[in-house]
Amino acid sequence: MIAGFEGAAQPDFINEEHRMTYDRMKAKPIPGKHCRFCGDHSSPLVKTRCCDQWICCDTEFLSFQGGGYCQFGHEHYSICHFHYNEGHPGAWQECKACRQFFGEESFKQGLEDPINTPRY
């Protein structure tokens, strides 16, 4: 979450120097940056709203299953993004509500799942 924008729509661009965007349709590769989840340097990048990480995305208007890019998987299958969508405070790794919702075993697996935590 961007400071000062709690409860408000997030801006499309918050960094004029690199034209960082949350909108996958406006995403472009950014020199010197890479996807924090797969390490790809050549794909279009956006910042995740949940954990503020660079992530590769699909820029097609119509895409089935996200086109194989990390953004789709993170936004649909991660505890991190679930935690953000539910509006839970603090880090998802320490969230009692998420732990209870997913169950202890699934939550522990989520701690090691690359879709939840950047590897690069």
Both structure tokens of 114: 């690359």
pLDDT band at 3 (very low <50, low <70, confident <90, very high): very low
The C-alpha atoms of residue 66 and residue 116 are separated, in whole angstroms, by: 17
pLDDT band at 63 (very low <50, low <70, confident <90, very high): low
Higher-confidence residue of 78 and 27: namely 78
Beta bridge partners of 98: none
Question: What pLDDT, on a 0 to 100 scale, did the predictor assign at position 43?
Answer: 86
> Where do the domains of the chain lie?
13-112
Higher-confidence residue of 98 and 65: namely 98
- Strand locations in 3-48 (E): 13-15, 20-21, 45-47
Q: What is the pLDDT of residues 19-29, one digit of tens each?
A: 567 777 788 88
Higher-confidence residue of 59 and 23: namely 23
The C-alpha atoms of residue 102 and residue 13 are separated, in whole angstroms, by: 33
Q: Is there a contact between 71 and 37 (Cβ–Cβ < 8 Å)?
A: no
pLDDT band at 50 (very low <50, low <70, confident <90, very high): very high
Question: What pLDDT, on a 0 to 100 scale, did the predictor assign at position 60?
Answer: 63
Nearest C-alpha neighbor of 74 from the set 110, 107, 103: 110
Angle between helix 70-77 and helix 79-86 axes, rounded to 10 deg = 60
Q: Is there a contact between 68 and 44 (Cβ–Cβ < 8 Å)?
A: no
